Amino acid sequence: AGCSTPSQPEAPKPPQIGMANPASVYCQQKGGTLIPVQTAQGGSNNCKLPGGETIDEWALWRRDHPAGEK
């Protein structure tokens, strides 16, 4: 007689490694170019928009996605 185990629900999947940074994706969707910036605190990206404005990618994200807006 064989042993069988009852099927169990799948464990929650961990977040994907290498998942796209939403702020970087948003910059590119706006037609911007990512510019890597190295600071004492680590690395980040600025976004150079088609109009010439250069802004931190997360500052752009927060500016265009105010908290509480759905």
What tens digit of pLDDT does each residue of 3-55 get?
Answer: 655 565 665 665 566 778 999 999 999 999 999 999 898 999 999 999 999 99
Higher local confidence (pLDDT), 2 or 45: 45
pTM confidence score:
0.66
The band of 67, judged by pLDDT with boundaries at 50, 70 and 90, is: confident
Sequence-ordered list of residues with C-beta below 8 angstroms from that of 58, at least 6 positions apart, any chain: 23, 44
Q: What is the pLDDT of residue 52?
A: 97
Q: The sheet that has 42-48: what strands, in order across it?
A: 33-39, 42-48, 54-56
